[in-house]
Amino acid sequence: MGREWVKISADGNCQFRSIAHQLGVSDTPSVVRKKVCDMLIEKHDQPYSEAAAGGVTRIWQVEHDSARGFIRVVNGMRRSTRQPEWGDETTLVGAAAAYGCRIQVISSNGVKYDRNIEPPIAWQIDITREIVIGHLPERHYVSTSI
């Protein structure tokens, strides 16, 4: 694809910092994180994907504790709205929705692990741009440049 990885601090904000870098916005990682979490909280009860046999998967149970700054996702893990903490697939979906973009994630494990993240169709969010970030599985996100 002809892209090079851009070094991003491994401080628990790497996914959010990479997204901000790709979007060319002046948002700090904490601002990106808050926008992502706010979007996920807003859309928590809307369909995320169509499951087998016509069922609907939703992102999480509604457990938002703004005083302590977390939201609890379906699998029981917490996502901090304020503290540096790693991002995952759910926060990538939230970022795609919050910023109206397709996020191409290039894996260091090879092309078969690359993926595209978009807002769920049911959320009715227009995609107006595409960004490309890199991922070192289970460890770190980076930005990219041509």
pLDDT digits (tens, 9 = 90+) for 7-60: 898 888 899 999 999 999 888 888 898 888 888 878 877 776 654 444 455 554
pLDDT at 76: 40
Which is it for strands 129-136 and 101-107: parallel, antiparallel or unpaired?
Answer: parallel
**Residue 122, pLDDT score:** 83
Domains of the chain (ranges; CATH) run: 4-145 (3.90.70.80)
Quickly state the pLDDT bin for 63 (edges 50, 70, 90): very low
pLDDT recorded at residue 49: 62
Q: Mean of the per-residue pLDDT values for the chain?
A: 78
Alpha-carbon distance 38 to 49, whole Å? 19
Of the candidates 88, 120, 98, 126, the residue with the CA atom closest to the CA atom of residue 32: 98
DSSP line for 81-107: SSS-----HHHHHHHHHHHTEEEEEEE
Tokens 């109206």: give the residue: 100
Residue-level pLDDT at 85 = 62
Q: Residue 77: what pLDDT?
A: 43
